[in-house]
Amino acid sequence: MSPTLRRIALVLLLALGAPAAWAQDLAAPLQALVGDDLAAKGEAMEALARTGDPRAAAALQALGDGRLFQRKSDRKVVIAATTRGGALTDAATGAAAGSATAADLDEANLNNRLRRQLSGLLGSLTLTLGDAATRIAAAESIFKTRDAAALAPLTAAIAAEKDARVRRAMETARAAVVLVTDGAEAERIAAAATVGARGDRDALGLLLQAANASPPAVAAAAREAAATIQRRLVMLDAAQNVSYGISLGAVLLLAAVGLAITFGVMGVINMAHGEMVMLGAYTTFVIQDWCRTAAPQLLDHSLFLAIPLAFLFTAAVGVLLERSVIRWLYGRPLETLLATWGLSLVIQQAVRSVFGPTNREVSNPTWMSGQVDVYGLTLTWSRLWIIVFAAIVFVVLLFVLKRTAFGLQMRAVTQNRAMASSMGIRTHRVDALTFALGSGVAGIAGVALSQIDNVSPNLGQSYIIDSFMVVVFGGVGNLWGTLAGALTLGIANKLLEPMAGAVLGKIAILVFIILFIQRRPRGLFALRGRAVEA
Amino acid sequence: MVTRRLLVGWTGIAFLAVVVALAVLVPALNLGLPPSSRFHVPTHIVVLLGKWLCYALLAISLDLVWGYCGILSLGHGAFFALGGYAMGMYLMRQIGTRGVYGNPLLPDFMVFLNWKELPWYWYGFDQFWFAALMVMLVPGALAFLFGWFAFRSRVTGVYLSIITQALTYALLLAFFRNDMGFGGNNGLTDFREILGWGVREPGTRAALFVATCVALAGGFVAARAMVVSRLGLVLVAVRDAESRTRFLGWRVDRFKVFVFTASAVMAGIAGALYVPQVGIINPSEFAPTNSIEAVIWVAVGGRGTLVGAALGAVLVNGFKTWLTGAFPEVWLFALGALFVAVTLFLPKGILGTLGGRRRRPVPPTPTPAESRAAAE
Q: Per residue, what are the HEC states of B12-61? A: HHHHHHHHHHHHHHHHHHHHCCCCCCCCCCCHHHHHHHHHHHHHHHHHHH
Examine the fold and report which residue of A88, A110, A132 is the final residue of a domain before the chain moves on. A110
- The shortest C-alpha distance from A444 to chain B (Å) reads 24
How sure is the predictor about B374, in pLDDT bands with cuts at 50, 70 and 90?
A: very low
CA distances (Å), A21 to each of A17, A25, A53, A164, in order?
6, 6, 13, 35
> Which residues from B are below 8 Å from A521, CB to CB?
153-156, 159
Q: What is the pLDDT of residues A274-291, one digit of tens each?
A: 999 999 999 999 999 898
Chain B residue with CA closest to A269: the answer is B158
A495 lies in the same domain as A438:
yes
The residue of chain A nearest to residue B73, with distances taken between CA atoms, is A334
B276, part of any domain: yes
Give how many domains chain B has, as a whole number: 1
Of B242, B336, B374, the CB nearest to A346: B336
The reported pLDDT for the residue numbered A23 is: 54
Domain extent for A203:
114-214
CB contact under 8 A, B347 and A465: no
**φ, ψ at A107 (rounded to 5°):** -80, 145
Is A320 in the same domain as A416? yes
- Closest by CA to A392, choosing from A431, A448, A438, is A448
B212: amino acid identity, one letter: T
Q: Which residues contact A202 (CB under 8 A, 6 or more apart)?
A: A143, A144
pLDDT at residue A19 greater than cutoff 60: no
| Site from B62, B180, B332 to mutate, A interface, most A CB atoms within 10 angstroms | B332
Amino acid identity for residue B340 in this structure: V
Does one domain contain both A152 and A261? no
Cβ(A56)–Cβ(A63) under 8 Å? no
Higher pLDDT among residues A111 and B5, named by residue: A111
Amino acid in the structure at residue B116: K
CB contact under 8 A, A504 and B177: yes
A107 CB neighbour count, 10 Å cutoff: 15
Cβ neighbours of A284 (radius 10 Å): 28
Q: Chain A to chain B, count of Cβ pairs less than 8 Å apart?
A: 162
Radius of gyration of chain A (CA): 34
Tell me, yes or no, whether A522 lies in a domain: no
Q: Has residue B148 been placed in a domain? A: yes
The boundaries of the domain holding residue B203 are 2-358
* pLDDT (0 to 100) of residue A477: 65
Nearest CA in chain A to B375: A333
- The three-state secondary structure class of A92 is coil
Domain annotation covers residue B363 = no
End residue of a domain, out of A58, A92, A110: A110
Question: Of B292, B329, B369, which has the smallest distance from its Cβ to A341's Cβ?
Answer: B292
Sort out which chain A residues have CB atoms less than 8 A from B300's CB and list them: none
Both A103 and A153 in a single domain?
no
Q: Which of B174, B340, B365 sits opposite A339 (nearest CB)?
A: B340
Cβ atoms of B2 and B229 closer than 8 Å = yes
Instruction: Quote the CA–CA distance of A21 and B346 in Å, as a whole number.
Output: 101
Q: CB distance A349–B296 less than 8 Å?
A: no
Report CB contact under 8 Å: B336, A469.
Answer: no
Considering the domain boundaries, does residue A84 fall inside one? yes
A44-98, pLDDT tens digit by residue? 887 777 776 777 777 887 887 788 888 888 878 888 888 777 888 887 777 787 7
Which residue from B313, B212, B220 is spatially nearest to B9, judged by alpha carbons? B220
Average pLDDT of span B51-55: 96
Mean pLDDT of chain B: 87
pLDDT digits over A433-464, tens only?
Answer: 999 999 999 999 999 988 888 899 988 888 88
Asked whether residue B371 carries a pLDDT value surpassing 50, the answer given is no
ipTM: 0.85
Please indicate, yes or no, if residue A230 is contained in any of the structural domains: no
| Domains: count for chain A | 3
Please state the rounded mean pLDDT for residues A491-516. Answer: 83
**Are B375 and A267 contacting, i.e. CB atoms less than 8 angstroms apart?**
yes
Residue B195 lies in a domain: yes
User: Looking at residue B370, what is its pLDDT?
Assistant: 47
Specify which of A204-213, A362-371, A434-443, A455-464 reaches the highest per-range mean pLDDT: A434-443
- Cross-chain Cβ contact B146/A511 below 8 Å: no
Q: What residue in B sits closest to A428 (Cα-Cα)?
A: B368
Position A2 scores a pLDDT of: 54
Length of chain A in terms of residues written: 534
Within 10 angstroms of residue B344's Cβ, the number of other Cβ atoms is: 16
Kindly state the average pLDDT of the residues A364-371.
81
Instruction: Note the pLDDT of residue B8.
Output: 56
State the Cα–Cα distance between residues B300 and B316, nearest whole angstrom.
8
Q: How far apart are CA A356 and CA A457, in angstroms?
A: 8
Classify residue A521: in a domain, yes or no.
no
Own/partner pairs for B110-116, CB < 8 Å, 24+ apart? Answer: B110/B181, B113/B178, B115/B181
Q: How far is CA A33 from the centre of its chain?
A: 44
Confidence at B369, pLDDT banded by 50, 70, 90 = very low
Q: What angle do CA B176, B313, B360 make, to 5 degrees?
A: 130
Predicted confidence band of residue A14 (pLDDT cuts 50, 70, 90): very low
CB contact under 8 A, A343 and B242: no
A384 and A267 share one domain = yes
Same domain, A260 and A195: no
Q: Which of A43, A91, A40 is nearest to A67 (CA)?
A: A91
**Cα-Cα end-to-end distance for chain B:** 37
Whether B370 maps to a domain, the answer reads no
Residues A394 and A320 occupy one common structural domain:
yes
